[in-house]
Amino acid sequence: MKKKHLVFSTVFSVIACINLSACSGQTFPGSQSLDSLGSLFGNKKSRPIPLPPLKAISNTINVKKAWQINTGSINKITKIHPLVGKDSIYVAGNHIPRAWNKQSGKALWKVNIGETISAGINNDASNKQLFIGTNNGNAISLDASTGKVLWIERLDSEILSVSRAKDNRVVFRTIDGKLHGLSSSSGEIIWQQGQRTPALSQYGASVPLILGNSPANTFVIAGFDNGKLATYSLQNGKQVWELAIAEPKGQSELDRMVDIDGKLSVMGTALFASSLNGNNVGINLETGKIGWAKPFSSPNGIDASPEGLYSSDVKGNIWKFQAQTGAPMWKMDDLMRREPTTPIIINPSLIIVGDKQGNLHWINSKNGQFVARMQGDPAGFNVAPTAQGNSIYSLGKGGILSKFVVQ
């Protein structure tokens, strides 16, 4: 095992952050009033409005719970996505990454790394290495089959997200707005790039995307808290293009937040993204120019298919948009104030979202109607489920990992 800089200094980053309930006073789709933030700032007269009961539904598709386990990976604030590999599923929380057999739910390995995990999990194309980040700013690689630590590299500050590895590169995004391109085999820092971070931002970061078919023609795309998307060469970090998809507006700092923290999606030569208090956008990847932009506010990003684009806004509405124009196709408001996750595409006619009460909702993507509902983690979800074929894997804030199968 290669260890670097194992005597760490403490770095304090003074930054004001709020969670997924962050919202704005603007009036475009997906916005909501600042009145709902009274309790956040100590307004004792402001009380949470009780959620209305979910509308009863009759499942019209057959969904079976294959298994459900308590992983011990509690992530109430951090957004650590489970990673589904060929034979295993990997989760992380607190100080411990873990592996489970995805067919049976049987535990395979776990390792205590001794510090809080704040980002990951991601892997390389061969699924031999795993990558995680910590709140102390340590980028870590693990052996996917055993959990053995392969290398540790010290970065500047808390790590919020990690890309997949490709062509001996892996990219870590830190809370100070920087991207760090590392050698995936050794952990050596090859390049660093960054964007200025606003005074107030959400806690979290979108997962950088890696695109390309050869080392000389492979790029990383990342979203930043200043409302900008940027593309860099994966090999050397040279910037290819930079684009603002949202501009800070309004009088308060809350109104002016334009974080790009959600899922970035690519379809062909088009990139789709969303921002808080900003826009949904369709971008030409080759030129870095906006094809269309529609006012929208979402912390969750977009999942894309030829049939349409799917997103959830800060109010909790679920939307479907045309990929070519960004025009709305339908809107479903049955999950308002339930903080639904990013809608994830299962197949051309089915999407799934989780909510803050731990429900998983299967939705007909043609008309926005519920077709099934199951209970996952009662603590709720702050990361979207993962779909692999007709199998769905969900990891909740309380550490409950579930596998569901659409039959």
User: pLDDT digits over 7-25, tens only?
Assistant: 233 322 323 333 433 333 3
Q: Give the dihedral of Cα atoms 145, 146, 147, 151; nearest 10 deg.
A: -90
Q: Burial code of 132-160, b = ≥16 C-beta within 10 A, e = fewer?
A: bbbbbbbbbbbebeebebbbbbbbebbbb
CA dist 352 → 109, 221, 240 (Å): 29, 25, 34
Do 179 and 171 form a contact (C-beta atoms < 8 A)?
yes
Helix, strand or coil for residue 215? helix
End-to-end CA distance of the chain: 44
pLDDT over 70 (residue 44):
no
Residue 33 has pLDDT above 80, yes or no: no
DSSP 308-352: EEEEE-TTS-EEEE-TTT--EEEEE-TTTTS-----EEEETTEEE
Tens of pLDDT, residue by residue over 182-226, are 999 999 999 999 999 888 888 899 999 999 988 889 999 999 999
Q: Are the CB atoms for 131 and 161 separated by under 8 Å?
A: no
Q: pTM of whole model > 0.85?
A: yes
What SS3 state is found at 36? Answer: helix
Under the banding of pLDDT at 50, 70 and 90, the label for residue 366 is very high
